Amino acid sequence: MLTRYGYDNAIPMLIIGFSLIVLSAFVFSGALSWVSTALGFIIIFFTLWFFRDPLRVIPETALLDHSIVIAPADGKVVEIIEIEENEFFKGKARQISIFLSPLDVHVNRSPVSGNVAFYRYMQGDYLVAWHPKASELNEQSRIGVETGFGKVLFKQITGVLARRIVCTVKQGDTLTTGEQIGMMKFGSRMDIVVPLDAEILVKKDQRTRGGETVLANLNKSK
């Protein structure tokens, strides 16, 4: 199943792929025909793979307990650090960074349930997504959610290959844990910022599955 966020790219790419295969069958000959066929199949396979939208089962505990923070994206945890976040938290917080390769599912989901109290789209650079400064300098969407257990901020961040962010969220929206909110196209990074006292339940280099992996637990005593 293809994600609806990728139709504008996927449909033209599929047309190109099938066109190359048709040309190889009826127009080209010899080595050119073989090259055209191979290239056509590569484009079709990559398109179907990159824009796939697999079924994910949101943990029932996360749907019932809104202190649970789940992964908003597939990928690899590349950083868990303390930061100074001055836009939404206005103070110290903990950041979990997930790097998405071009082979990962790029559909993004809300990590928590709550009200969108902050949204900002920021133009910027295209540093490699795992660069420490990518979180501050790269083009990105920043989404701040007020939950019943505190604030959570998550960022869709472009990389060298990712040059387009799709985000369907706006300030004032109400989000549900695991709800699809957009995608990042062709390799990118997702940062999730939680309060300092949140319990972090993942480790650096761990793989995550968007909508399924539990990242953290917010402090229920607040």
Tell me the catalytic residues.
Answer: 188
Number of residues in the chain: 222
**Rounded to an integer, what distance in angstroms lies between the CA atom of residue 49 and that of residue 104?**
9
**Rounded to an integer, what distance in angstroms lies between the CA atom of residue 205 and that of residue 35?**
38
Q: Select from 108, 107, 110 the least CA-distant residue to 177.
A: 110
Task: Evaluate whether 102 touches 161 at the Cβ level (below 8 Å).
Answer: yes
**Rounded to an integer, what distance in angstroms lies between the CA atom of residue 84 and that of residue 103?**
32
The count of other CB atoms within 10 Å of the CB of residue 7 is 11
**Rounded to an integer, what distance in angstroms lies between the CA atom of residue 87 and that of residue 98?**
21
Q: Is the dihedral of CA 120, 213, 188, 82 positive or negative?
A: positive
Q: Is the dihedral of CA 79, 81, 83, 88 positive or negative?
A: positive
